[in-house]
Amino acid sequence: MASIKKIATLSQFAQLIKGEPALVQILKVGELISVTFLERTSREAYFEIGNIGTGIIFGTELLNARKLIEELKVGDSLTAKIVSLDNGHGYVELSISEAGKQKAWQVIKELQEKGEIITVKIGGANSGGLTTIINNIPAFLPVSQLSNENYPRVNDGDRAKILEELRKFVGRDLKAKIIDVDARKNKLIISEREISDQNVKELLGKYTAGQIIDGVISGVADFGAFIRFTDNPAIEGLIHVSEIDHKIVENPKEVLKIGEAVKVQILEIKEGRVFLSLKALKPNPWDKVADKYKVGAEIEGVVYKFNPFGAFINLDNEIQGLIHVSLFGGSIEEMKKKLTVGQKYTFIIELVKPTEKRLILKLK
| Residue 355 DSSP code | G
CATH topology of domain 10-97: OB fold (Dihydrolipoamide Acetyltransferase, E2P) (2.40.50)
Q: How far apart are CA 287 and CA 114, in angstroms?
A: 54
pTM summary value: 0.52
Q: How far apart are CA 129 and CA 142, in angstroms?
A: 4
Please name every residue paired with 84 in a beta bridge, in sequence order, or none if there are none: 93
| Residue 342 DSSP code | T
Predicted confidence (pLDDT) per residue in 219-258, tens digit? 888 889 999 999 988 888 999 999 999 888 888 988 899 8
Predicted confidence (pLDDT) per residue in 126-165, tens digit? 989 999 999 888 999 999 898 877 888 776 667 888 899 8
Q: Which residue did the predictor score with more confidence, 311 or 69?
A: 311
Which of 39-43, 96-100, 227-231, 348-352 is predicted least confidently? 96-100
Written out in words, the top-level CATH class of the domain with range 285-363 is: mainly beta
Written out in words, the top-level CATH class of the domain with range 207-281 is: mainly beta
Cβ proximity of 245 and 232 under 8 Å: no
Per-residue confidence (pLDDT) for residue 27, from 0 to 100 = 82
Q: How far apart are CA 173 and CA 134, in angstroms?
A: 12
Helix/strand/coil for 3: coil
Q: How far apart are CA 243 and CA 241, in angstroms?
A: 5
Is 20 a residue whose pLDDT tops 60? no
Domain limits, the chain? 10-97, 115-197, 207-281, 285-363
Is 21 a residue whose pLDDT tops 70? no
At 182, which helix (H) or strand (E)?
Answer: strand 173-182
Give the number of other Cβ atoms within 10 Å of residue 344's Cβ. 11
Predicted confidence (pLDDT) per residue in 80-133, tens digit? 889 988 888 889 999 887 777 777 888 899 999 988 899 999 999 998 999 999
Taking all residues of the chain, what is their mean pLDDT, rounded to a whole number?
Answer: 85
